[in-house]
Amino acid sequence: MINVPPKRKFIYNFVTRLISAEVLVIIFGKYAPEVGVKFGILWSLVMAPIILHTYREEWQSLSKVYPKRDADRIANNLLITRFMIGIIPITASIFGRWFNGNLLVLGTLGLLFAIVAAKLLTDAGYPLSKEEKRRMLCAENESSPERLAL
């Protein structure tokens, strides 16, 4: 299973993101719309330094394996996907108030977020195959010999 077809990656990403997106949308759109905006903003503010630090490290490791343009694209897709976790409660809260917690509208919103996240992750090549993980690990180990000493 060295090369996983993109269709299987998309389905895997879609199913995993569908569960999390639907749970967030239902919780913050139906049961707690007054908390959704606060949670989304707070989560984005608290997690922004961690996400940006992770982005920088991922970009550096990806740029050793892939051309700069591909490394930028992959790292940006992952960055957007991580910030979507803060955007989902805000959007769900707004839609929950506008449509009085209509589950059909909220379910469609969760489905939309799941499709967008799955597409971004699939374009980034996630989940990585064993071959890709090995290539990235080798590139990281070659560039930093002090890690090998630890």
Contact between 122 and 13 under an 8 Å Cβ cutoff? The reply is yes
Q: What is the DSSP letter of 126?
A: P
- Report d(CA 106, CA 90) in Å as an integer: 12
Q: What is the pLDDT of residues 5-49, one digit of tens each?
A: 778 889 988 999 999 999 999 999 999 888 999 999 999 999 999
Which of 81, 91, 79, 75 minimizes the C-alpha distance to 115?
Answer: 81
Please tell me the predicted confidence (pLDDT) of residue 131. Answer: 73
Q: Which two tokens stand for residue 52?
A: 């940006």
- Higher pLDDT, residue 1 or 19: 19
Judged by average pLDDT, the poorest of 1-5, 45-49, 64-68 is: 1-5
Question: Residue 2 — very low, low, confident or very high, per pLDDT cuts 50/70/90?
Answer: very low
Q: What is the pLDDT of residues 80-126, one digit of tens each?
A: 999 999 999 999 999 999 999 899 999 999 999 999 999 999 988 87
- Higher pLDDT, residue 108 or 64: 108
The CA radius of gyration of the chain, in Å to the nearest whole number, is 18
Please tell me the predicted confidence (pLDDT) of residue 106. Answer: 93
Question: Residue 150 — very low, low, confident or very high, per pLDDT cuts 50/70/90?
Answer: very low
Residue identified by tokens 């000493």 is 149
